[in-house]
Amino acid sequence: MTPPSAIAIRRGDRGSAVAAVRERLVIVGELDADGSDDVSEDAVLEFDDRVERAVKSFQQRRGLLVDGVVGTATYAALDGARYALGDRVLRHQPGHFLEGDDVATLQGRLVELGFRPGKVDGIHGPLTDEAVRAFQADVGLVGDGTVGPETMRAFQALRRSVRGGSANALREREHIRRSGHSLSGRTIVIDPGHGGDDRGAEGLKGLVEADLSLELARRIEGRLSAHGVNVVFTRTNATTAGTDDDRADFANGVEADLVLSLHSDHSPSGSAHGVATYFYGHDARGATGANGSGGSGAHGARSLIGERFADVLLREVVARTGLTDCRTHARTWTLLRRTRMPAVQLDVGYLDHEGDAGLLSRPETLDRVAEATVVALQRLYLGENDTAQTGVLHLGDLRRHLEALRSGSTGAEVGATG
């Protein structure tokens, strides 16, 4: 209901406008709905002492001028107060801003998550609109500025854990949660390191990093495609991927769910060996702002999903290949930093190490790394339901487990096949 432009409903008035005011006072808890005999058909049209007291109490609570008269401001506040966030679809309407408690709640929540809707004033203006669109883009929704059921679900899922960590981490987690347990339908960008004139590290047994990373990428692609994953390469044999900035832009452009960059290492001494993974973050835990609401933009100090995937991937690769565990590390490298989705770099083996080169020149090893990657991805999306031991899972087990989860038997265990 839109109030007339100048409005003043006061004690002594009667009619349908009074009935509308009473109705709202009941909704906001200032007036009893019943329990009094005078709430007859006729009485609801009366602006009596009781209504005046209720209006004053409401004005007091809202910091409005306490005069007991329902003027334009009081009317707008009363009208808006009946909405809790989610009761109606909110969007920015140029020329006629929506107002209400739901808008204020929305603004408060945006602030909590590190966005900037401007003043928390319950008025859905352009800044609030901008913040809503930024939120939608961050959790992977269409950034249309409309706060409807889908955006509400994203908010609700985040609210439960908003005290628990950085806004950025929560957004990532929400992204994973919302996309469900299945790999199917996801877009994974695989970035085979180097390429073109840049051959990367060169080592024993004719191993060249640029070729090895592409070879591994193809094996991962084959397995992921079989699971309905949309795999996109940053480069092929014939094309180059450009700089790390270009690679990040590419991944952002295809709106990937995750980026995996494939590399190998070399060390002049020839003694270093093993496998390591890297995710976005600073190694000194908690050294940078952890709540994402500061001036550092949308990104918090570390990617928790990236860290989890880096950790699971490393353990699966080590368990399957016998390569030495060189651990998971937080880095602020361009590709990890500039991608808007979780990104992980896998450095598999030192090409100038006798043992590593021996392993990596065998196709079975690459198959195992590829299998480890797919299992790690699947485990990432299993989330907290993932209780299986590292290195013992095979894709068939995971599929059965996921089917059990989907069919509702929540007690399903992932069987470790020997």
By beta-carbon proximity to Zn ion, the closer residue of 197 and 413 is 197
Using CB under 5 A as the criterion, what x/- string covers residues 379-418 for binding Zn ion? ----------------------------------------
Q: Exposed/middle/buried for 347, CB within 10 Å: 0-12, 13-18, 19+?
A: buried
For the bound state, the minimum distance from the C-beta of residue 277 to Zn ion, rounded and expressed in Å, comes to 13
The answer to whether 86 touches 153, Cβ cutoff 8 Å, is no
In sequence order, which residues have a C-beta less than 8 Å from that of residue 278 and are 6 or more positions away?
310, 328, 329, 330, 331, 333, 336, 344, 345, 347
Kindly tell me which residue out of 122, 193, 281, 342 binds Zn ion, with binding defined by CB under 5 A: 193
Pair 321, 355: CB distance under 8 Å:
no
3-state helix, strand, coil in the chain (%, to 5): 45, 15, 45
CA dihedral 373, 378, 384, 385 (to 10 degrees): -130
Is residue 200 involved in binding Zn ion (CB under 5 A)? Answer: yes
Region from 68-76, 104-112, 214-222, 258-266 binding Zn ion, contact rule CB under 5 A: 258-266
CB of 349 to Zn ion, least distance (A): 11
Choices 23-31, 66-74, 79-87, 197-205 (CB under 5 A): range interacting with Zn ion: 197-205
Contact 209, 264 (CB under 8 A): yes
Is residue 377 within 8 Å of residue 393, measured between CB atoms?
no
- Which own/partner contact pairs does 410-415 have at CB distance under 8 Å and 24+ positions apart? 413/387, 414/386, 414/387, 414/388
CB closer to Zn ion, 193 vs 195:
193
Which single residue is written with the structure tokens 């909405």?
Answer: 83
Task: Single out the residue of 263, 273, 302, 320 in contact with Zn ion (rule: CB under 5 A).
Answer: 263
In angstroms, give the least distance from the CB of 181 to Zn ion: 33
CB 44 within 8 A of CB 17: no
CA 260 to CA 269: how far, in whole Å? Answer: 28
Contact yes or no for 99/112 (Cβ under 8 A): no
Angle in degrees, 0-180, between the axes of helices 167-178 and 304-321, rounded to the nearest 10: 60
Q: Which stretch binds Zn ion (CB under 5 A): 61-69, 160-168, 256-264, 384-392?
A: 256-264
State the binding string over 21-60 for Zn ion (x if CB under 5 A, else -). ----------------------------------------
| Least Å from the CB of residue 246 to Zn ion | 16
| CA atoms lying within 13 Å on the CB side of residue 324 | 12
Measured from the CB of residue 376, what is the shortest distance to Zn ion in angstroms?
Answer: 20
Q: Which is nearer to Zn ion, 181 or 273 (CB)?
A: 273
Residue closer to Zn ion (CB basis): 205 or 400: 205
**Could you identify the residue written with the tokens 């009667």?**
14
Cα separation, 89 vs 348, whole angstroms = 50
Shortest distance in whole angstroms from residue 281 CB to Zn ion: 20
Regarding 125 and contact with Zn ion (CB under 5 A), the answer is no
State which residue, 193 or 306, has the beta carbon closest to Zn ion: 193
**How do beta strands 70-71 and 187-192 pair?**
unpaired
Minimum gap (Å) between residue 332 Cβ and Zn ion: 17
Binding flag, residue 203, Zn ion (CB under 5 A): no
> 329 to 348, contacts with Zn ion by CB under 5 A?
none
**Which one of 82-90, 187-195, 218-226, 380-388 is the stretch in contact with Zn ion (CB under 5 A)?**
187-195
Closest distance of CB 99 from Zn ion, Å: 55
Q: How far is the CB of 190 from Zn ion (least distance, A)?
A: 14
- Stretch binding Zn ion (CB under 5 A), from 5-13, 128-136, 261-269, 285-293: 261-269
- Nearest Cα neighbor of 350 from 266, 278, 277 is 266
Site map (CB under 5 A) of Zn ion, residues 214-253, x = contact: ----------------------------------------
Phi and psi, residue 263, nearest 5°: -140, 170
Judged by beta carbon, residue 99 or residue 352, the one nearer Zn ion is: 352
Smallest gap from Cβ 244 to Zn ion, in A, equals 11
Binding site for Zn ion (CB under 5 A): 193, 200, 263
